[in-house]
Amino acid sequence: MSGVQQPAAVVAEGVDMDFGTGAAMAVKDAGFALGRGRFLTILGPSGSGKTTLLRMIAGFQTPTRGQILIGGKPADAVAPHRRSVGMVFQKLALFPHMTVAQNVAFPLKMRRFNPAEIAGRVERYLELVRLGGFGARRIHELSGGQQQRVAIARALVFEPELLLLDEPLAALDRKLREEMQLEFRRIQKELGVTTINVTHDQREALVVSDEIIVMDQGQIQQHAAPAEMYRRPANPFVAHFIGVSSFLKGRRSAAGIEVNGIDCAGQAVADLAPGVACLGAIRAEQIRIAPAGAPLPGCDTVVQGQVTDIVFEGERLLCFVTLPALAAEVQIYHHDPAGLDQLAKGASVSVGWTAGDLLIFAADKG
C-alpha cells in the first residue's frame, strides 16, 4: 500500500502493552508499517487501545513486548525534546498567558532555531492554518476552532517528520469538526507530513485518511484504505463499526446463508464449509425497500417485512424493518423524497438485496 521502495516512516512489530493491572492487555500484538507522507487514522471504540498505541509511537511509553521504529530508530531512542514529532491532543495545552504567536514560537525556541527566523516562520504557519494576522491575540480571545488551529500550527511549525493527533477535534461541534477535518486534510497534503490521527469518529476516519487501522480490545482488526475498509470489512466487528450494518444469523448454504430455512443470496468473505454457523452483514444503503408487492428488479433475495420505525435524517430516511421470516430486524436508508408518504410506521414492505452486497463471515469472529 505504501510503495515498496520507500522506507516506512513508522513500523510497529508485535507490540504489546500490558499495564500489569491484571486486566486484559491494552494493546496486543500490534503490527503495521506506514509509508512517508501518509495519513493514517487509528479508529476504535473507547478503551480499545488507541491512545496507548499512539503514546508508544510518541515514545512516551515503552512496549512490554515488540518494538516501534520511527525512521528506522526505536521510538524512545531519542530524547523527547529532540524527537521530530509534533503532537496535538484532545486537551490542547496551549499556554493561556502567551499570545498566539508566542505559543507557535515556543517549539522553535525549545529547539534553538535562529531567532531572526522565528517571527517569519510563525507567521507562515499561522497563515497555513488560516490565522494570518492573529499573532498578537491571547488564547482566550479565540474561538474553539481557532484555538485548535493554533495547536496545529504549534505542532507543525518546526517541520516534524511525524505528526500525532489524539482526538484533537472531539470537543468541537459537528459542523466545525467537519470543517476542521477538511482543513487537516488540506494542511497534511500541503506539507506532506506523515500523520497518525486517533479518533472514534468513523466519518472523520473515512474523510481524512489514506489508511485506516480499526482496533478493538487492544487488537488491530483491519488495516486498509478507507474505501476498501468500507467495502470489504475483514470481520463483523469492522462491518458493525464502520457504516450502518444489519446482521443475519444462519448457516453457510449454496446461495449464501440459510436463515430460518430460507436461502439468502450472499457472498462469503472467506472459505466457509457448507453448514457452518455464519453471520451475514449488509449495509443500510444496500438494501432496497418498496411498498409490499411492488417489484424490486435486480435483487437476488426479496423478503417481506414491516416498518417498525422511521427516522427522518433530512437527506434520507432511516427505516427499521422487521423481517419475520428471517427472525431479523434490518436498518435501511431510503433516499426517495416521497418515502415518508409511502413508508409509514407499520407499513408492509418488500425488501431486497443483491448477492454481492450481503457479506458472509464465520460466526465466531468479532
Ligand X SMILES: Nc1ncnc2c1ncn2[C@@H]1O[C@H](COP(=O)(O)OP(=O)(O)OP(=O)(O)O)[C@@H](O)[C@H]1O
Residues forming the site for Mg ion (CB under 5 A):
51
From ligand X, Mg ion, none, which one binds at residue 46 (CB under 5 to 8 Å depending on kind)? ligand X
From Mg ion, ligand X, none, which one binds at residue 197 (CB under 5 to 8 Å depending on kind)? none
Residue 243: how many other CB atoms lie within 10 Å: 20
Question: What is the crossing angle of helices 100-110 and 144-156, to 10°?
Answer: 20
From ligand X, Mg ion, none, which one binds at residue 52 (CB under 5 to 8 Å depending on kind)? ligand X
Footprint of ligand X (CB under 6 A)? 19, 21, 26, 44, 46-52, 200
Residue 254: how many other CB atoms lie within 10 Å: 7
Q: Judged by CB, which is closer to ligand X: 61, or 188?
A: 61
What's the closest the beta carbon of residue 135 comes to Mg ion, in angstroms?
32
Q: Which residue has the cell 427472525?
A: 327
From ligand X, Mg ion, none, which one binds at residue 44 (CB under 5 to 8 Å depending on kind)? ligand X
Q: Judged by CB, which is closer to ligand X: 44, or 305?
A: 44
Q: How far, in Å, CA of 125 to CA of 132, rounded?
A: 8
From ligand X, Mg ion, none, which one binds at residue 26 (CB under 5 to 8 Å depending on kind)? ligand X
Q: Judged by CB, which is closer to Mg ion: 61, or 301?
A: 61
Q: Judged by CB, which is closer to ligand X: 42, or 259?
A: 42
The closest alpha carbon to 127, from 190, 84, 179, belongs to 190
What's the closest the beta carbon of residue 86 comes to ligand X, in angstroms?
19
The closest alpha carbon to 330, from 346, 312, 318, belongs to 318
From Mg ion, ligand X, none, which one binds at residue 107 (CB under 5 to 8 Å depending on kind)? none
Q: Judged by CB, which is closer to ligand X: 52, or 147?
A: 52
Q: Judged by CB, which is closer to ligand X: 89, or 113?
A: 89
What's the closest the beta carbon of residue 52 comes to Mg ion, in angstroms?
8
Radius of gyration over alpha carbons of the chain, in Å?
Answer: 24
From ligand X, Mg ion, none, which one binds at residue 5 (CB under 5 to 8 Å depending on kind)? none
What's the closest the beta carbon of residue 51 comes to Mg ion, in angstroms?
3
What's the closest the beta carbon of residue 272 comes to Mg ion, in angstroms?
35
What's the closest the beta carbon of residue 351 comes to Mg ion, in angstroms?
38
The closest alpha carbon to 123, from 114, 110, 113, 136, belongs to 136
Kindly list the distances between the CA atom of residue 219 and the CA atoms of 37, 45, 49, 53, 338, in Å, as whole numbers in the listed order. Answer: 25, 12, 8, 10, 44
What's the closest the beta carbon of residue 198 comes to ligand X, in angstroms?
7
Sheet holding 256-259, edge to edge: 262-265, 256-259, 245-252, 277-283, 359-362, 267-268
Q: How far, in Å, CA of 26 to CA of 48, rounded?
A: 7
For residue 260, the surrounding DSSP H or E stretch is none
Q: Judged by CB, which is closer to ligand X: 157, or 169?
A: 169
